[in-house]
Amino acid sequence: NFLNEGPAWKDVMSQSGLDDMTLLSKLTNEQIMQNLKERFDNGIIYTNIGEVLISMNPYQWLQIFGPEIIQSYVGKARIELPPHIYGVAEQAYRTMVNERENQCILITGESGAGKTEAAKKVMEYISEVSGSASSSAKLDHIKKIILGTNPLLEAFGNAKTLRNNNSSRFGKYFEIHFNQEGEPLGGRIINYLLEKSRVVTQLEGERNFHIFYQFCVGAQGSERQDFGVHEATSFDYLVKGNTTTVDGMDDMKEYQEMREAMGVIGLSPEEQQDIFRLVAAILWIGNIDFTEASERASVADMAVLEFVSSLLGIPASFLKTALEIREMETKHGMARGTTYKVPLNYIQACATRDALSKAIYSAMFDWLVMRINKALDFQAGNTLSIGVLDIYGFEVFKKNVFEQFCINYVNEKLQQIFIEFTLRLEQEEYVKEGIAWTPIEFFNNKIVCDLIEAKRPPGIFLVLDDVCKSVHGVAKGADKAFGDRLSSCASNPHFKLRGNAFCVKHYAGDVTYECEGMPEKNKDTMAKDLFNCIEISTNKYLQTLFPQSERPVAGSKKAPTTSGFKIRTAANELVSTLSKATPHYCRCLKPNDEKRYDMFDGPRVLHQIRYLGLLDNIKVKRAGFAYRTVYKKFLDRYFLLSPQTSYAAKMIWKGDVLSGCKAILADCPFGSDQYQIGKTKVFIRTPESLFALEDLRVNYYHNMVSKIKFAFRTWKNHKHECSTRIKNAFKAYKIFQQQCATIIQKCYKDYKNVAPYSDLRMKIEPNIVNKKERNRLSIASVRKFYGDYLNIMSGPRANLRNAMGPTFGQEKVIFTSKSMMVHHPGLLKANKLSPRFLVLTDAALYLVSLQKKKGVPEYKLDKRFIISSITGCALSPYRDNFVILKMPLDFLDVVLEVEFKTELLGWLKERGSLSQFEFGDKLPYFKKKKSKNKITFIRDDMVQDALYKKDKVRINGGLPASSQPASFQKTGFKFIGVGGGGGPRGGRGGGPPRGGRGGAPRGRGGPRGGAPRGGPPRGGPPTRGRGGGPPPVAAPPPKPKCRALYPYDPVEPDELRLQEGDVIEITEEDGDWWKGVLNGAEGLFPANYV
């Protein structure tokens, strides 16, 4: 509705403030904040700083997303449309496809600034625009998986915090891999530092991970009963923050979407049951409580423990022992020590219980990520990728502990990457390339990263690892040792030690961290007793989560890795991965800490602007260059823009690449102030200049296509004109030739008094009409029956008469014609058509073949059938000329292809015993006594004439079966001169029937319902006789009229359009094309249609 009813959304997005803050008149942090406020107050959340997108969390749903808006960004440059997260995704995707380089999108900001939603919109855009309309089902499935990962990972990895109702409590780097055409092949997810401590404890006003609350609401039937699922308030792990619901979040709906996502990534129902069995087990582990007597803890409620044991598949006695007693072993060098069983107090027992819950949940989350990666698996090879980084934001709480320290360290590393690419490296590149440049000062947070992770002097992480290795025993002793050893970091100006806490001056502000609990959390180990319980578990899925390779080995001297070591390694690997791709940035800001859509907290936003270094970023962008590339790539991409480097879309430059680049830039439509040439690269100053180059490049091909089309059309017109002249001359010649032939034929036929058998034709018609499609030769005009088509009694046919034997001389010839007979050569040989001379007398039907004997052609009688034995015939319903003559008493049939089959059947019916007519597309017959065969007829408009092969006949369509020939009258002899109009239809001197072999409708295949349009019927090209000879002897009666038998659509402008039943006034009868008047319009029409 927003798109249809209101103003265009892109106008709404652009009507307040500046889209790109590099255009600000005053460069101050306050001016940046004022521009952001003006846009936020008008519902505009996106603003650019060059290629960097600034996004404000609106804390409400805006009508600026969806498929229609996605399509508006496809193929558009950054400055063509308002700033949008879709614009960043489009730029990354098109750059990947065009430049064949990997891309990454870094989405950073504080917790609650909208990073997760921005990442989802990026994946939504890429999934929508990647691939093509013809993409396979596999590609569609990959897209579904890419989108389906969001609800699944959000359920298991997101939670409500004080600052964000859907805060990511883990880091995610999602790589989508594509082929060279930009179609998605698959992907992979790398997850970082899941906040597993949230499983067992939450701050006031926060929730545990979403999955627990969703499962309590959505579990149905057997799951709820078998797993002991109740409302969330029944489980201790879910009420630590005294919050079980979230405003605006429907846990039931989220649960259903999460279950659907499980199916999309390929989790079977059994695997889903295993997952929720452990989710329920974690909830019930939290309900295990202890009582303490003499500093020895024991399980308070065995019923709860036994239910947990049933879910985990661990014997209750073993699990009870592991929670109450810790087994310790003392060693002296290589000698085997003594094993002690030490009872645990209440605090230690609770810590052991919580460690089991955290370990199971963390391993289950890693397994889910592994299964998603398996569903997204692809064939490794020459692929391109787009990576989307969605990681926890910078966090500052009243009490900041180990988790906040790790989270803020990762954000510090990401800020370092941003500084590296947007400020430091860019300026260093200008100096290296010899570009005129005034350095811009900025804060480099490398000193903060070194404080946390450096080896010399040791950073905070290394101090923490050293404490974990050297200090054993109670946790308080380790906390104190950690605080004491942090004094080694005091030389760093960004560090202050404050008793049992320390302060780090991060890029986002000062944060004070509590030393208490840090060494214990950094150890990241689970008691060996709990591993032993898992090892004997009957729950196969639980054992899968803890493979043998990750379990502690007895007697091993290798120290387990710490959490600090893991997060340092993962962060450095992430930096390495991002450094190999072209980065794109989205910086997310929070307008306020109250999550209100109508509140803009100026000081809060100003603080974020300062620590993100947006002012420095704007300064570098205003003074810098929008695009740079090496000489060869610039020459390869833009050589088309200069006539010195290209001709007919081919590179003709033979000189060095630097001179080629200078030649191209000299021919570009902008001044020399818009570019500079460095030592190895070409620099383009503004995006507008770069877009101008791209437009010229695209228009080059467009102009080249226009030239080719113009030349082709010119040649085509000349060819058509020449062809038209040749055709007109040929038509005039054919018209004259046909008119001469018509005169000769009419004179000869009138003289010979041909067609004495007109009544025979009308008698056979009832047996065929409405049962078989007709040829135009048969019904489009009157075809006369002539009988003896071979002129059998003539002198040249003497050998043929002799071959039929002595009885032939005593019989009267009725019908003769050439024909084709289906010949059956015998076993393992295909049936085929063989030519035969067909002679029908009043006594018998003869089939004579012409064979070569010793090189001399000789007639040989092949078959002779008594005419009275032929009592039936079979034909197909199509327009073919095949007929099966049946002789039931002899159990022998013959299959013939005769052009004059209707006339043959008429004589057999008139003079013989033919009485049975059979029609069908599958016709059985006796090829010899007691041996049957079958011939099949197939309608195939791709063939022109009947095609016989392997007992199958393919034939195209004919006139409707309901078509009937018109009756006719014999006329006396009438001479027609060249160019005359011809006699009445069907007259003795009528010549070849219209629509048959002698002529055809002009440009058409016949009336509708007949053969396919597009060419003339058999018999030659259309004729059009206008003039071209002496006038007719007898003038036509004044203004005769005729009636249209079939509809006709004109091909040429001078033709009439006919509908069945139209009455036309004839003005000129000219061969097969007559001239007449219909509804006041005069034009030509085919004579065989009336």
Active-site amino acid positions: 111-112, 116, 164, 167-168, 393, 395
Give me 518's structure tokens.
């840090």
| Residue 33, C-beta contacts closer than 8 angstroms, at least 6 positions apart | 602, 605, 606, 609
Q: Which amino acid is at 703?
A: N
484, two tokens: 């004491």
Residues 6+ apart with CB under 8 A from 602: 33, 37
Residue carrying the six token digits 């109508």: 598
Cα–Cα distance between 197 and 199 in angstroms, integer? 5
Q: And the tokens for 344?
A: 């645990």
Give the DSSP per-residue string, 735-790: HHHHHHHHHHHHHHHHHHT----HHHHHHHGGGTTTTS-B-HHHHTTTPPP-SBSS
User: 501-537 burial, b for 16+ CB within 10 Å, e for fewer?
Assistant: bbebbbbbeebebbbbbbbbbbbbbbbebbbbbbeeb
Q: In the numeric block, which tokens belong to residue 421?
A: 């690419």
239 phi, psi to nearest 5 deg? -120, 10
Q: Which residues pair with 176 in a beta bridge?
A: 187, 386
Q: 629 near 676, Cβ under 8 Å?
A: no
The CA distance from 178 to 843, in Å, is: 82
Please say whether the beta carbons of 391 and 192 come within 8 A: yes
Q: Residue 350 class from Cβ within 10 Å (0-12 exposed, 13-18 middle, 19+ buried)?
A: middle
| Tokens describing residue 568 | 């340092």
A 10 A CB-CB count for 220 gives: 9
Q: Which strands make up the sheet holding 1081-1086, listed edge to edge?
A: 1041-1043, 1063-1070, 1073-1078, 1081-1086
CB 486 within 8 A of CB 449: no
Q: How far apart are alpha carbons 957 and 774 in whole angstroms?
A: 9
Greatest alpha-carbon span in the chain:
141
Q: What is the chain's percent helix, strand, coil content, to nearest 5?
A: 40, 20, 40
Query: Mind spelling out the 3-state secondary structure of 153-221?
Result: HHHHHEECCCCCCCEECCEEEEEEEECCCCCEEEEEEEEECCCHHHHCCCCCCCCCEHHHHHHHHHCCH
CB proximity list for 669: less than 8 A, separation 6 or greater: 692, 696
Q: Measured between alpha carbons, how far is residue 402 from residues 50, 202, 523 in Å?
A: 37, 14, 11
Confirm if 905 and 814 have CB atoms less than 8 A apart: no
Q: In what order do the strands lie in the sheet with 675-677?
A: 627-630, 681-684, 675-677
Do strands 856-866 and 844-853 pair parallel, antiparallel, or not at all (unpaired)? antiparallel
- Answer for the pair 421, 206: CB distance below 8 angstroms, yes or no: no
Eight-state DSSP code of residue 492: S
C-alpha distances out from residue 400 to 392, 408, 661, 695, Å: 15, 10, 56, 53
Cis before 457 (ω within 30):
yes
